[in-house]
Amino acid sequence: MARFDLSKYATVAERLAMVEAEWPDFRVETDDYSTPEDRAKGIWRVKAYLYLTKEDQIEGTPKATGHAFEVDSNMGPQATSALEVCETSAVGRCLALASTRWSGNKDDATKSLASREEMEKVQRGKTAKTATEVPDGFTDRVEKCDTVAELTTLWDEATTLGFSNNVVTMFSKRKAELANA
C-alpha cells in the first residue's frame, strides 16, 4: 500500500501552468539522447531545458535541466509511448528543479521532485519490465548485413535470444535499405 497522498503532487501540466503564469515567455526544449544501442534495448533517455525569458533563450542559458529514463513495457503507456512518457518526466523534473513552487508536493514543495504521474506509477506498483539485454555490437552487426539472407539469419538469432521485439525497427530499416540497394 502506498505511503503517500497523490493529491499532494502536482501534474506536469499543472507545473507548466504555474511557470507560464509567472514567465509568459518561457520555453522548454527536450533532447532525446538515447543511443541506437539504448533503443535496441527499449531504453529511452531525455533531457529537458527550461528557459524563463527571451534573454535566456537568446543566450542559451537554461535556468534548469531535468533528466528522465524509461524502459519499454508491455503494459501502460510505456507499451506504446515510452519515449513520450520519458519526455514528460524530464520536463516535470526540470520544472521541479527550477523552483520549489513548481516542484511537485503541493503541501511541502521542498520534499519532492516527483510529479503526480511518477507517483501514480509507484502507487500502481507496476515496475517497468527489465529490458531484454541486446548484446553490445549487435546494432553494428545489423548494419553490416549485405543481404536479406544475412539479415534473416541475424533476425533468427534475435528471436531465439528473446530480444527481437527490441530491435524490430532496426531490422525493418536495414531490410528496406537492402531492398532499395
pLDDT digits (tens, 9 = 90+) for 99-157: 755 444 445 443 466 676 767 666 655 444 444 677 888 888 888 989 888 888 887 77
Residue 118 and residue 143 in one domain: no
| pLDDT of the residue at 105 | 46
The confidence band for 32, taking pLDDT boundaries of 50, 70 and 90, is very high
| pLDDT of the residue at 120 | 67
Task: Confirm whether 152 is domain-assigned.
Answer: yes
Task: Confirm whether 2 is domain-assigned.
Answer: no
Span 75-91, mean pLDDT?
A: 79
DSSP secondary structure letter of residue 109: G
Residue 44 and residue 118 in one domain: yes
| pLDDT of the residue at 127 | 46
Q: Domain total for the chain? A: 2
| C-alpha span between 55 and 134 (Å, rounded) | 44
| pLDDT of the residue at 72 | 80
| Reported pTM | 0.61
Residue 108 and residue 147 in one domain: no
Residue 112 makes CB contacts below 8 A (sequence gap 6+) with 9, 96, 103, 104, 105
Task: Confirm whether 154 is domain-assigned.
Answer: yes
| pLDDT of the residue at 106 | 47
Span 162-176, mean pLDDT?
A: 76
β pairing state of 27-32 and 64-71: unpaired
- Own/partner long-range contacts of 118-126 (Cβ < 8 Å, ≥24 apart): 118/89, 118/92, 119/4, 119/6, 119/9, 120/6, 121/76, 122/2, 122/4, 123/2, 123/4, 123/6, 124/76, 126/73, 126/75, 126/76
Residue 75 and residue 164 in one domain: no
The rounded percent of the chain whose pLDDT value lies above 90 is 19
Span 57-83, mean pLDDT?
A: 82
Residue 109 and residue 146 in one domain: no
Task: Confirm whether 130 is domain-assigned.
Answer: no
The rounded percent of the chain whose pLDDT value lies above 70 is 75
Residue 103 and residue 16 in one domain: yes
Indicate the SS3 state at residue 32. strand
Domain boundary among the residues 97, 124, 151 is at 124
Q: What is the mean pLDDT of the chain?
A: 78
Q: Which domain holds residue 104?
A: 7-124
Residue 171 and residue 89 in one domain: no
Task: Confirm whether 26 is domain-assigned.
Answer: yes
Per the listing, cell 534573454 goes with 55
- When computed from its CA atoms, the radius of gyration of the chain, rounded to whole angstroms, is 20
| pLDDT of the residue at 46 | 94
Task: Confirm whether 113 is domain-assigned.
Answer: yes
Residue 109 and residue 145 in one domain: no
